[in-house]
C-alpha cells in the first residue's frame, strides 16, 4: 500500500470523522478493517495507472504516491457515505491528474520507466547446415 492508517488519521482526517466514515454500526469507532480495505482499493487504483509505465510493485517510499493515495482514500471514505463535497471531489480529481502526469512522464518516480527498463529477448536459431568443408575450415582457425 502506498499509504498507512496513520497517514489517514490523525494526519489527514480527525479520528472522529474516520470513525463516522468507517463504522457501519454506530459511527463511534474507527473500523480499521474497512479503512485497510479502502487503502488497498486506493493503492490498486494507483497501480492500474502505473502499470502502463512502471514495473510493479513500486519499491521504496514515494512521497507523491503517498499523497495521491491519501487523497483517493479520503474520497473513497466519503463516497461510502455519499458525502463527497466539492473540495473532496476537486482533491480526488487532482490526484487522478497527478497519476496521468506520472504516466505521461511529466512527473517521474524513482523507478525507471518501461522505456528504460531492461527487457528479455529471445533469439530463435535458424536451421543451419554445415558441410564437412565448412566444419574443417572452422576447426582449422
Render each residue's pLDDT in the chain as its tens digit; 141 residues: 999 999 999 999 999 999 999 999 999 999 999 999 999 999 999 999 999 999 998 888 899 999 999 999 999 999 999 999 999 999 999 999 999 999 999 999 886 545 444 444 444 555 556 666 666 665 665
Going by C-alpha positions, the residue among 11, 57, 66 that lies closest to residue 39 is 66
Q: Are 77 and 42 in contact (CB under 8 A)?
A: no
| Look-up of cell digits 494526519 | 11
- Kindly state the DSSP code that residue 131 receives in the 8-state scheme: -
Q: Does the bond joining 45 to the residue before it have cis omega, within 30 degrees of 0?
A: no
Residues 6+ apart with CB under 8 A from 4: 39
Name the pTM for this structure: 0.78
Amino acid at each position: 500500500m502506498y499509504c498507512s492508517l496513520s497517514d489517514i488519521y490523525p494526519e489527514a482526517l480527525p479520528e472522529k470523522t474516520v470513525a463516522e466514515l468507517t463504522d457501519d454500526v454506530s459511527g463511534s469507532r474507527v473500523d480499521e478493517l474497512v479503512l485497510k480495505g479502502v487503502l488497498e482499493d486506493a493503492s490498486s487504483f494507483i497501480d492500474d495507472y502505473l502499470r502502463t509505465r512502471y514495473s510493479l510493485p513500486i519499491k521504496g517510499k514515494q512521497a507523491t504516491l503517498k499523497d495521491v493515495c491519501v487523497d483517493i482514500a479520503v474520497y473513497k471514505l466519503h463516497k461510502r457515505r455519499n458525502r463527497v463535497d466539492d473540495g473532496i471531489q476537486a482533491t480526488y480529481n487532482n490526484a487522478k491528474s497527478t497519476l496521468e502526469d506520472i504516466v505521461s512522464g511529466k512527473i517521474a518516480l524513482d523507478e525507471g520507466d518501461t522505456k528504460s527498463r531492461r527487457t528479455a529477448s529471445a533469439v530463435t536459431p535458424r536451421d543451419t547446415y554445415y558441410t564437412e568443408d565448412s566444419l574443417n575450415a572452422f576447426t582449422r582457425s
